[in-house]
Each structure stands twice: as structure tokens, then as C-alpha cells.
Amino acid sequence: MSGANPKVLLVDDDRDLLQLVGMRLSAAGYGVTAVESGEAALAALSVSRPQVVVTDLRMAGWTGWRCLMRFTGIRRRCRW
């Protein structure tokens, strides 16, 4: 990859899967921020400013769908 590494935000409540996918993406040259809940993803979104969000759709607490709906609302108000 040329230039800055694309940033990916991973969201999954399965720690093993989160670690596996995170390691694979990091090895491929992506900058990875990995969190275990939708609430943590919302906080990480403004800090890491990822180009891509990969989320589990079925999580305890906030589902992946709820996260994506919140992210979309935030994205509309931000100039990134």
C-alpha cells in the first residue's frame, strides 16, 4: 500500500474473532482500532476517524445495526 495506512474500526463482542481479524488486517497494512462494544465504537469513532467500519451485527447491548445508524447520524454532522 502506498501513502498512509487506511484506518479500520473493528467492532465485535467476540474477543477471539476481534483479535484474529485485527491481526490479519494489520498484517495487510491497515491501521486497526478494535473495540468490543457498540458504545466503545461510538467513542472510538471520533478519535480514530476510520475510513471503514466492520461490525458484528449481533452483539449484546448495542447491535451492529444500531451502531451503524448512530455512525451515519454522526457522519452527517462532521466534516472529515
**Is the predicted pLDDT of residue 29 greater than 90, yes or no?**
yes
For residue 30, what are the contacts with CB-CB under 8 A and spacing of at least 6?
5, 6, 7, 8
Q: Give domain status of residue 1, yes or no.
A: no
Instruction: Answer whether 38's CB lies under 8 Å from 66's CB.
Output: yes
Residue 63: which CATH number? 3.40.50.2300
**Is the predicted pLDDT of residue 2 greater than 80, yes or no?**
no
Q: Give domain status of residue 70, yes or no.
A: yes
Q: Give domain status of residue 23, yes or no.
A: yes
Name the more confident of 31 and 57.
Answer: 31
Arithmetic mean of pLDDT, 12-27: 95
**Percent share of the chain, pLDDT over 70:** 85
Alpha helices in the chain (DSSP H): 15-27, 38-48, 64-77
Q: Give domain status of residue 2, yes or no.
A: no
Q: Give domain status of residue 35, yes or no.
A: yes
Q: Give domain status of residue 44, yes or no.
A: yes
pTM of the model: 0.77
Q: Give domain status of residue 71, yes or no.
A: yes
Based on the structure, what is the number of domains in the chain? 1
Domain that residue 45 falls in? 7-77
